Amino acid sequence: DIGAMVMNGYSIEMILEEASKRNRYQYSVIRKAQKQDAILCVCQKGFQTADKIKDLLEVSLPKGTPLVILTAEYDHSEEIKISSIFAGKYNILFTAGTTDPNISETDFISIEEIIENHNIKKMNSYLKPIMNENEITQFNQNIIRNFSLDNLIKYLTILNPEIIVNNVEGIIADIEEKLKLKIQSKTKVGLYIHISCLIERILINKSAITYDHLEEFIATQQDFIKIVQDSLHKIEGIYNVKIPLEEIGHLYDYIQSDSVKNKEDSVYDPNDLFQD
């Protein structure tokens, strides 16, 4: 403003007078809102495991930890929505669950990794700003106790954990043999939880969860469907249930999307587990 008046040939008196009239300076300080630290437990819609995982994490936290555990169910179309719902109010340290929702800028730690004590250092790094070393040690000890496979299945399901674990072990071994696949340890842990929970869900609520692209799955994965149906036949008889194709579709996604190592004679392809 002053420079423009100088270039226009105004006198110094006029410049000072006009500048003092036209330029009044004010300021305000807008401080960044302090977001509450949180862990987000997630599960696919219909699986109903997020609340139970939340409960186990809450009882594992040392008393007085300034941290909240949140839950969310999602399907593939709602991943962005989940992020926007919580991002404004909470500082999400990480998400935890059985399946990664791929929420941007948020790391995922699977229940399988927690059970097998993988990524513990990574999880601890998120907790260091809000816990001291003793509290982190206590939290880790509580996690080991509360997130054992037997305890988790007992907590997540109404079924006898010893019986269901033995049955699911046989199912997984049968699927590995027939598909000529070597399923990694952490994926097996997830399948124990996944299959146990789906049996319980069908027992309680006879309706199945939805599965995107079901018609395409049926048309392209007949070999997988037949093998898994044969493998599930025994457990269907034990619990008097019928595993729908939608559930088999989710099992396919779980095995394909996670760490599946093929044997030397496997026909595994990254885009299709069962291409000839």
> One digit per residue, pLDDT tens: the chain, 276 residues?
889 889 999 898 888 888 888 877 777 776 666 788 999 998 877 667 888 889 989 999 998 898 999 998 877 555 556 666 777 788 889 999 877 877 777 888 888 888 877 778 888 899 998 999 999 999 988 988 888 877 888 777 777 877 888 888 889 899 989 988 888 777 788 888 888 888 887 887 765 577 888 999 999 999 999 999 999 998 888 888 888 898 899 888 888 865 444 444 433 444 455 444
| Among 154, 152, 155, 122, CA closest to 140 | 122
Reported as type and span, the H/E element at residue 25 is none
Q: What is the pLDDT of residue 226?
A: 94
**pLDDT value at residue 19:** 85
Report the distance separating Cα 245 and Cα 253, nearest Å.
12
Residues 6+ apart with CB under 8 A from 124: 136, 140
Mean pLDDT of the chain: 81
Strands (E), the chain: 36-44, 68-74, 90-97, 108-110, 181-183, 260-262
How far is CA 105 from its chain centroid?
13
Beta strands 181-183 and 90-97 are unpaired
Tell me the C-alpha distance between 145 and 147, whole Å.
6
Give me the pLDDT at residue 162, please: 79
* Token duo for residue 163: 């019986």
